[in-house]
Amino acid sequence: MEQIKKRIKEVFAKAPKFELIEMPFIDISEDPVRPELSLEFRQAYGRKIYGIKDEEGDIAAVMCFAFTHNIPKSVEEMDIMSKDAAMQATHRAGVQGSIAIAYTVWAKKKGGGKHMVNEVYKMIKESNHLNRLVTLSPITDIATKFHAKNGAKQVQVNLTTQNFEYDIELEKWEVLKKRAKGWFNIK
């Protein structure tokens, strides 16, 4: 009986709240995945750095993105594709690429990586121009397990990287919600 009560309390316990924020800079030496990529690279055209703040105001995880129109097979290819998408965006009111390529993620607090994926997932679902969330991950067991555990499907294995894709298709109720917001001019 005590175990049941404990489990019920766990289920209804307040879930931690996180806020997804764009970060102007990070300490790249903390990045266990791609520490060789400079801050300038991460801030170049077609790229952004996001973090999630926990309830205490601390950064719980960090994820770096490039926005492209195709799936890159290497960091070099991602560099070219994100710059190209950024250049095209100058003619499209700043809309940079339709694919968010997550090329590094790390947790600063336990569970931060999973919550980061969840928050980014929500951001992309709510976006008007992003329709895919794909990774450019190193070929390691840790990366494979992390993405598989978080619901991603492996798309391809390249020479030095692998790509996973998170399904961001809107549920039927989300499509209806989006339409209703449009009808009533709600943002």
Centre a 10 Å sphere on the Cβ of residue 132 and count the other Cβ atoms it contains. Answer: 18
CATH architecture assignment, domain 18-183: 3-Layer(aba) Sandwich (3.40)
As a whole number of angstroms, the distance between CA 145 and CA 91 comes to 39
pLDDT per residue as tens digits for the range 132-153: 999 999 999 999 999 999 889 9
pLDDT tens by residue, 21-78: 999 989 999 999 999 999 999 999 889 999 999 989 999 999 999 999 999 999 999 9
State the DSSP code for 69: S
Model pLDDT, residue 77: 96
pLDDT of residue 173: 58
Tell me if residue 9 falls in helix, strand or coil.
Answer: helix
C-alpha distances out from residue 117 to 64, 87, 110, 121, Å = 12, 27, 14, 6
Sequence spans of domains, the chain: 18-183
8 Å CB contact between 20 and 48:
no
Using pLDDT thresholds of 50, 70 and 90, give the confidence band for residue 126. Answer: confident
Phi, psi of 155 (to 5 degrees): -95, -45
Tokens found for residue 108: 């600063």
pLDDT value, residue 162: 97
DSSP SS3 for 51: strand
pLDDT of residue 27: 94
**pTM for the complete prediction?**
0.78
State mean pLDDT over 10-29: 82
